[in-house]
Structure 1
Amino acid sequence: MALAQCSFFSDVLGLSCSMNVIIPQQTRRQIGMEGKASTGKFPVLYLLHGLSDDHSIWLRRTSIERYAADYGIAVVMPTVHRGFYTDMKVGGKYWTFISEELPYIASSLFPLSEQREQTFAAGLSMGGYGAFKLGLRKPDCFAAVASLSGALDIGSIYERQDIMQPWEIESIFGKREEAAGGLDDLFHLAEQVALLPPKDQPLFFQSCGTEDFLYPDNLAFHTHAVKLGLSLHVEYGPGDHNWSYWDEQIKRVLDWLPLNGR
């Protein structure tokens, strides 16, 4: 695998941004790891960070580069600060950035596939919210999305002042009554996607540790998605809101992704 550490300018955000990009590389003499074929454009996984992290965290806390080598998939890891992958009420347009500008820039700089069936998203905590949001609002662009310990119920965020202060939450989503039932509410978005033909709906992977403080929110979304008939693969088990859990689960996600028609 090749690793590119990239700085670029975002017209949407009006500032310089960073992303790390893992690109498949065919190798024969690398000790301890083999690379997949490196011809053509690669399937791509947009891998999103959590509230307190940045573009570097997946490389620092997991073996994502080594795991991805077995699948011949590129991995794009951007920084989105604390913007919750949302066009903030007061602040940056992080939804427009992650859903439109970033894929355009990344595919212009690297040989990434722009085909829906080869485009995926995953993330942890805030990034799990972002990944599901990409699948639910852009089902024509993403074939499969995965949430690890996702902050899937934005309503509950307003109740947890130990994570974010009310002023910060409202700067992102507005007042709680504004957010409910809108384009940032995953429960509402799931209802809209459920109206699409099954072939036009993305696949969903959801996992959360049973000791995680976000476990109740994940159970609530799971129940909602099942009632709607969405294609949701769920994995629960022992685990907390930490990197030992996410390192294990991102391997599960890569194995689950519908790569090469499987």
Structure 2
Amino acid sequence: MALLQVNYYSQTLGMDRVMNVILPELSDHNPSWTAADLQDIPVLYLLHGMSGDQAVWTRRTSIERLVRQTPIAIVMPSTDLAWYTNTQYGMNYFDALVDELPKKIATLFPQISKKRDKNFIAGLSMGGYGAFKMAFSNQQFSYAASLSGALIGDPNFPGRDAWQNDAYWQGIFGNLTKFPGSENDIIKLAQQQSFRKQPLPKLYAWIGEQDFLFENNQQTISQIKALGYDVTFETSPGEHDWYYWDKKIERILEWLPINYKKEKRLS
């Protein structure tokens, strides 16, 4: 597998950006692969949480090692602290990621599939929110996964005051009293997608039973299931911590329709 740092210019944000990409390549680690195996390859967009960036998944988990025998690309972008959202201060991070980034990927990596059934998205904490939000907002992704996701549909979501003050949240989402039913309310977005009678993404969510977002996940997933989504919801002992996310990212790989191959002992 190749691990690439890609510096590119975002016309939407008007600034240089960075993404990390894990890309399958022909090598003696996978002697059975052919050039044909590395065309139209599936892709998983992997989103970071509030304290992370485009490099955090490779620094704190085994993602590169886990996929080195599975022909799948991993794209890891950054939203800074903007919650995968078009902010109130004029920085359209959501548009940059959901509209502009896939076009950039298609240009830079033509071997990565543009087909919906081969495009997946996942994230942790803030990135879990972003993954569901992006999957509900368009038809690009056929599978979406959340690990310890901040699946917010209420301005008084758990951890709000501990993470940042009201000025920060208003800069991201605007008037918090108007958050329910807005373009940032993932329950509202899920409703709108289901009402349009479009193909719905399959969803996976895991939350640790000691996580401060546990009740939030239970409530939100129940509402999403009631809308007709195919949701795999799993819980187990665990906290809001990389120790668990490192383990659960492999569970996501097993859940995706990619013929995931567990690692053999390779030098």
TM range (shorter): over 0.9
- Point out 4+ residue stretches in structure 1 off by more than 6 angstroms: none
Unaligned runs of 5+ in 2: 260-267
CA distance in 2, matches of 1:163, 1:95: 21
In the TM superposition, what are the counterparts of 1:114-133 in structure 2 within 5 Å?
A: 114-133=114-133
- Secondary structure at 2:195's aligned position in 1? coil
In the TM superposition, what are the counterparts of 1:36-185 in structure 2 within 5 Å?
A: 37=34, 38-110=37-109, 111-138=111-138, 140-155=139-154, 156-157=156-157, 160-185=160-185
RMSD: 1.8
Tell whether the 8 Å contact from 1:34 to 1:69 is kept in structure 2 after alignment. no
TM-score, with structure 2 as normaliser: 0.90
Aligned to 2:242: 243
Moved more, 97-106 or 221-230: 221-230
Tell whether the 8 Å contact from 2:24 to 2:38 is kept in structure 1 after alignment. no
Aligned to 1:15: 15
Unaligned runs of 5+ in 1: none
Matched to 1:210, the amino acid is: E
Identity over the aligned pairs, expressed in percent? 39
Which whole-Å deviations, capped at 9, do the CAs of 1:7-45 have from their partners, x for residues lacking one?
A: 1111111111100000012322x4xx8785553121111
- Secondary structure at 1:20's aligned position in 2? strand
- Secondary structure at 1:69's aligned position in 2? coil
- Secondary structure at 1:259's aligned position in 2? coil
Aligned residue-pair number? 255
TM-score, with structure 1 as normaliser: 0.92
Q: CA deviation at 1:196?
A: 4.4
Which whole-Å deviations, capped at 9, do the CAs of 1:208-237 have from their partners, x for residues lacking one?
A: 111111111101111111222211011100
Q: CA deviation at 1:187?
A: 1.0
- Secondary structure at 2:161's aligned position in 1? coil
Matched to 2:64, the amino acid is: E
- Secondary structure at 1:66's aligned position in 2? helix
